[in-house]
């Protein structure tokens, strides 16, 4: 590729990226293409000959855009997703252009050093032990996996078993205690770790989905030997936080390792107004948290934080590099991967863009918007908000149709209509025995007008569907 072609293809990509982002507020919030339509758009025989970069990039945008979800749009409340801060996105373009493979500090010093500094910033912002170690992974799924690998190694080491060397076969059993409403990816992590997705002690939760401290203590009482307890900061439907102080006290009395799945909720620690929700979690042993949810880093980005850096390195270090660190921090010692993109740069840029104050305001604003939406929705006769809206999640249950029938089908049809109309995007979930609408306010682009217009769209879809059924 000539210099001129190089400049043209990168400029084209940047221009397309900017146009897409500028148009996000006006785009429908659902993809216009279904999966089948998107597949038909891309469907083509294996290319025999190469083509010009500028043509390829133009074609990619043309084929993909109709099937893109408008996750960066201001009225996107589906799942729990951030909006990819534009400065983080710009950094991400550089990351790709620089082609750094960040595993080893000598090979890629800038990428490795930047991660070391960003790790320090994260521990400061989240107010976690300053000597904890941080692995830069792809998402909270891998953050939880990484932390739980460290946990598995350490609780077995305490009973004289070296799982890193000898594996799990023949090892003393590890007890895993989990809240009954843990995120599904916790069970994936347990599966990858050979601990079994089903061989757990499930702890009863209250009506907000928080582990009950008394039930936790009862579950723990008969257990001996290696124990891992998995807690949650931010329940996926309610946003609720487990009672950390009580859990940690009971767990540490039995030398159990306590992990926190804080994929989005851990960010309350960076918000003066909400920090109280996370009281006590700083005494846990490991924490998984996403960048690409509340921090708004571009995908993909999350952090595996472990109090005992040696346990972290024993679990993840490649070859013998987990032996005592020298001057340099080798990124590959803290993540499952050897070769990976230098995602620390995007976190660096995003934290620089917000600053501590900006993150504090973002979390507080999203929580206030969630409360605003919850208040307006629950003021409507027949609409019930099931959770205490302490955070950014709102679980909405719709009442009866005009025949007086309460049905999950009505809620499902309402969600489908909201998504079809595209004014905003909400998803659904099954919680407490019923279909709910789940609203997650997790973006930087959402304002009060968006929240209000979205409530209008939700109610109007419900009225239409309710009437249609009568
Ligand atoms: C989103 C989420 C996860 C999984 O995170 P990914 O970034 O999608 O891998 C785990 N736990 C909770 C509570 C979540 O909200």
Cα-flanking dihedrals φ and ψ of residue 273, to 5°?
-70, -25
Which atom of ligand 1 is found nearest the CA of 264? 15
Query: Is the minimum distance from the CB of 140 to ligand 1 under 6 angstroms?
Result: yes
Cβ atoms of 186 and 263 within 8 Å: the answer is no
Q: What does the pLDDT read at residue 320?
A: 58
Query: Is the minimum distance from the CB of 466 to ligand 1 under 6 angstroms?
Result: no
- The angle at the Cα of 291, spanning 138 to 242, to the nearest 5 degrees, equals 100
Q: What does the pLDDT read at residue 469?
A: 53
Residues 17 and 277: their CA atoms lie apart, in Å, by: 37
Query: Is the minimum distance from the CB of 290 to ligand 1 under 6 angstroms?
Result: yes
Reported as a pLDDT band with limits 50, 70 and 90, residue 400 is confident
Reported as a pLDDT band with limits 50, 70 and 90, residue 324 is low
> DSSP of 17-75, one letter per residue?
HHHHHHHGGGS-SS-SS-HHHHHHHH--PPPSS---HHHHHHHHHHHHGGG---TTSTT
> Is the Cα torsion angle 139, 145, 151, 153 positive or negative in sign?
negative
Q: Is 407 a residue whose pLDDT tops 90?
A: no
428-444 pLDDT, tens per residue? Answer: 999 998 999 999 999 99
Q: What top-level class would CATH report for the domain 93-351?
A: alpha beta
Short-list 158, 184, 248, 236, CA closest to 393: 236
How many helices and strands (H and E) does the chain possess? Answer: 14, 11
290-308 pLDDT, tens per residue? Answer: 999 999 999 999 999 999 9
Q: Is 350 a residue whose pLDDT tops 90?
A: yes
DSSP collapsed to 3 states, 394-428: EEEEECCCCCCCCCHHHHHHHHHHHHHHCCCECEE
Q: What does the pLDDT read at residue 360?
A: 98
Residues 339 and 346: their CA atoms lie apart, in Å, by: 17
- The angle at the Cα of 366, spanning 365 to 371, to the nearest 5 degrees, equals 95
Residues 121 and 114: their CA atoms lie apart, in Å, by: 11
Which atom of ligand 1 is found nearest the CA of 300? 7
Q: Average model confidence (pLDDT) for the chain?
A: 95
Which atom of ligand 1 is found nearest the CA of 141? 9
**DSSP 3-state of 259:** strand
Count of CB atoms situated within 10 Å of the CB of 332:
23
Query: Is the minimum distance from the CB of 234 to ligand 1 under 6 angstroms?
Result: yes
Which atom of ligand 1 is found nearest the CA of 292? 7
Segments in 65-166 forming alpha helices (H): 86-98, 109-125, 140-157, 163-166
Residue whose entry in the numeric block shows the structure tokens 């025949």: 403
The answer for residues whose C-beta is within 8 angstroms of residue 189's C-beta and 6 or more apart is 141, 144, 145, 148
32-79 pLDDT, tens per residue? Answer: 999 999 999 999 999 999 999 999 999 999 999 999 999 999 999 999
Strand order in the sheet with 133-137: 133-137, 302-306, 286-290, 257-261, 227-232, 175-179, 201-203
Q: Is 327 a residue whose pLDDT tops 90?
A: no
213-228 pLDDT, tens per residue? Answer: 999 999 999 999 999 9
Query: Is the minimum distance from the CB of 143 to ligand 1 under 6 angstroms?
Result: no
Query: Is the minimum distance from the CB of 295 to ligand 1 under 6 angstroms?
Result: no
Q: What does the pLDDT read at residue 199?
A: 87
The structure's pTM equals 0.96
Short-list 290, 246, 240, 272, CA closest to 356: 272
Separation of 185 CA from ligand 1 center, angstroms? Answer: 7
> DSSP of 171-217, one letter per residue?
PPP-EEEEETT--HHHHHHHHHTTS-SSSSEEEPB-TTSPBPHHHHH
> Is the Cα torsion angle 336, 337, 342, 343 positive or negative in sign?
negative
Separation of 299 CA from ligand 1 center, angstroms? Answer: 13
Query: Is the minimum distance from the CB of 302 to ligand 1 under 6 angstroms?
Result: yes
Separation of 194 CA from ligand 1 center, angstroms? Answer: 20
Q: Is 325 a residue whose pLDDT tops 60?
A: no
Residues 166 and 154: their CA atoms lie apart, in Å, by: 13
Residues 432 and 16: their CA atoms lie apart, in Å, by: 44
Query: Is the minimum distance from the CB of 261 to ligand 1 under 6 angstroms?
Result: yes
Q: What does the pLDDT read at residue 405?
A: 73
Query: Is the minimum distance from the CB of 212 to ligand 1 under 6 angstroms?
Result: no
Short-list 220, 205, 288, 277, CA closest to 254: 220
111-150 pLDDT, tens per residue? Answer: 999 999 999 999 999 999 999 999 999 999 999 999 999 9
């Amino acid at each position: 590729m000539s210099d001129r072609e190089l400049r043209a293809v990168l400029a084209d990509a940047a221009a397309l990226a900017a146009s897409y982002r500028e148009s996000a507020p006006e785009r429908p919030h659902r993809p216009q293409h279904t999966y089948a339509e998107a597949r038909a758009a891309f469907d083509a025989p294996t290319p025999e000959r190469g083509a010009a970069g500028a043509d390829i990039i133009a074609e990619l945008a043309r084929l993909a855009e109709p099937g893109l979800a408008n996750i960066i749009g201001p009225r996107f409340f589906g799942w729990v997703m951030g909006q990819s801060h534009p400065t983080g996105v710009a950094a991400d373009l550089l990351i790709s252009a620089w082609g750094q493979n960040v595993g080893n500090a000598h090979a890629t010093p800038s990428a490795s050093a930047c991660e070391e500094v960003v790790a320090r910033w994260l521990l400061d912002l989240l107010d976690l032990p300053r000597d904890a170690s941080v692995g830069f992974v792809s998402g909270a799924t891998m953050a939880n996996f990484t932390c739980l690998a460290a946990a598995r190694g350490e609780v077995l080491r305490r009973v004289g078993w070296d799982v890193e060397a000898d594996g799990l076969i023949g090892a003393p059993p590890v007890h895993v205690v989990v809240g009954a409403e843990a995120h599904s990816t916790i069970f994936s992590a347990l599966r990858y770790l050979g601990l079994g997705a089903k061989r757990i002690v499930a702890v009863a939760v209250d009506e907000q989905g928080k582990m009950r401290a008394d039930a936790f203590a009862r579950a723990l009482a008969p257990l001996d030997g290696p124990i891992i307890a998995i807690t949650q900061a931010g329940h996926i439907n309610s946003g609720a936080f487990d009672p950390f102080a009580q859990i940690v006290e009971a767990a540490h009395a039995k030398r159990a390792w306590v992990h926190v799945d804080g994929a989005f909720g851990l960010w309350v620690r960076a918000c003066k107004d909400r920090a109280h929700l996370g009281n006590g979690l700083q005494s846990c042993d490991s924490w998984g948290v996403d960048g690409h949810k509340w921090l708004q880093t571009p995908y993909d980005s999350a952090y595996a934080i472990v109090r005992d850096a040696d346990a972290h390195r024993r679990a993840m270090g490649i070859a013998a590099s987990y032996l005592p660190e020298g001057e340099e921090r080798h990124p590959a010692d803290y993540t499952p991967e050897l070769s990976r993109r230098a995602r620390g740069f995007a976190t660096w840029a995003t934290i620089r863009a917000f600053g501590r104050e900006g993150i504090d305001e973002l979390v507080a604003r999203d929580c206030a918007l969630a409360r605003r939406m919850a208040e307006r929705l629950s003021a409507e006769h027949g609409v019930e908000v099931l959770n205490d809206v302490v955070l950014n999640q709102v679980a909405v249950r719709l009442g009866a149709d005009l025949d007086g029938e309460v049905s999950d089908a009505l809620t499902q049809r309402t969600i489908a209509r909201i998504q079809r109309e595209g004014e905003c995007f909400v998803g659904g979930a099954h919680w407490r025995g019923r279909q709910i609408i789940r609203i997650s306010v997790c973006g930087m682009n959402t304002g009060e007008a968006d929240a209000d217009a979205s409530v209008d769209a939700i109610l109007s879809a419900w009225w239409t569907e309710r009437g249609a059924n009568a």
